[in-house]
Amino acid sequence: MPAVAPAAPRSRVVVLLSGAGTLCAALLAATDDAGYPAEVVAVGADRPDAAGLAAARDRGIDTFVTPLRAHPDRASWDRALAAELTTRRPDWVVCAGFMKLLGPAVLSALGGRVVNTHPALLPSFPGAHAVRDALAAGVDTTGATVHLVDAGLDTGPVLAQRAVPVLPGDDEARLHERIKTVERELLVHTLADLVTRAQAGPTPDRPQESTR
């Protein structure tokens, strides 16, 4: 009987969040499937009261908090965050509703391996108020993007996008909830694709854009 090749080790993922952690929860649920190619080994936040930390703690997952206000300036905070991340030896870092820009210390340590989600079809409507800005612009379609993080504001290479229609009567909260539903699924599938490609060979300098 031929020997069965061992399964590839699951990639180590650290998730960063700032709030309720619904994107993180979607990833944690996906990793319950032993066939999912990644596992969440730690969850970090910039706020000690971030509700998303509780779901990780309930699963026995390592958590950490690196608040900006605990450091004299943004550069020292960025260095502290880089130290927290690298200590956990991640293959990938996922910003899942993390409301802080990553600086040069993190990007130099983990550049090309940090993934972010954004509630718009980049390059349209970058920044913290993407849903509000889409409504103000009167567009009939917005959506969700998963991209790699670079030194700019939501300017990194796009990995995947999915459109979400703007419906009559939409306000910011209603539209954002529909986008978040799409965003969660898109993140789970895109991360799996990205990890699988990386396990198969060297990660390309600019991943191919895919639309789901």
Q: Could you please report the per-residue DSSP string of 132-172?
A: HHHHHHT-SEEEEEEEE--SSSS-SPEEEEEEEEPPTT--H
Q: Is 71 a catalytic residue?
A: no
C-alpha distances in Å from residue 189, one per residue of 13, 31, 146, 182, 201: 14, 12, 10, 11, 19
Q: Which of 71, 118, 176, 189 is catalytic?
A: 118
Asked if residue 17 lies in contact with residue 24, where contact means CB atoms within 8 angstroms, the answer is yes
- The encoded tokens of residue 149 equal 């993080």
Q: Which two tokens stand for residue 141?
A: 């379609």
Q: Residue 44 pairs with which residues in a beta bridge?
A: 16, 64
The CB density around residue 12, as the number of other CB atoms within 10 Å, is 17
Q: Which residues are catalytic?
A: 118
